[in-house]
Amino acid sequence: MQGLILFAHGARDPRWAEPFQQVAERVRALQPDLAVSVAFLEFLEPDLATAGQALVQAGCSEVAVLPLFLGAGGHVRKDLPERLERLRRAHPTVQWTLRPAVGESGRLVEALAQIAVEPIAAGGQENA
C-alpha cells in the first residue's frame, strides 16, 4: 500500500490548516487507494513522526512526503530530511521518499501567476 504525507509548516491558528486539509481531501478523491495524511512542522498536529507512524500502521510499505512549501528553504532542506531520516530508522522496511517542494513545480508557478493577473485581466475587478 502506498501513502502520502502532505507536509506543511503549521501555525498557531488551526484555521490555517484548512487549505491543506482541502488538498488532502482532493488527493483522496483523485487517488482513493492512496493513504493520505497531512503533517506539520510545528504548532499543529500531527507532526511528521505521528503521521508516518499512522501510515505504517495502516499498512503502507511506501510513503512519499510532499512539502507544501513555496520555497525550499531551511525547513525543507534541513529540518524535513532530518525528521524523515528518523522515520527511516524507526521503520526500515518502509520506503520513504522526499519529493520536491510544491513551489518548485512549474504548474504551481503558472497557477499562481494566473491568479495574480486575474483582477487585471478582468479590468481590475476582484473575484472573491
Domain boundaries, the chain: 2-103
Gyration radius from the chain CA atoms: 16
What parts of the chain have a pLDDT lower than 70? 124-128
pLDDT score at 126? 60
Residue 72 burial (10 A CB sphere; 0-12, 13-18, 19+): middle
Q: Is the peptide bond before 119 cis (omega within 30 degrees of 0)?
A: no
- Give me the architecture of the 2-103 domain, per CATH: 3-Layer(aba) Sandwich (3.40)
Total residue count of the chain as it appears in this document = 128
pLDDT number for residue 124: 64
96 Rama sector, left if φ>0, alpha if ψ -120 to 50, beta otherwise: beta
Asked if residues 58 and 35 have their Cβ atoms less than 8 Å apart, the reply is yes
Q: Is 99 exposed, middle or buried (0-12, 13-18, 19+ CB in 10 A)?
A: middle
Task: Dump strand ranges (E) for 72-128.
Answer: 95-98
Residue 126 has phi, psi (to 5 degrees) of -75, 140
pLDDT of residue 76: 83
Taking a C-beta distance cutoff of 8 angstroms, is the pair 119, 86 a contact? Answer: no
- Containing 2, the helix (H) or strand (E) segment is strand 2-8
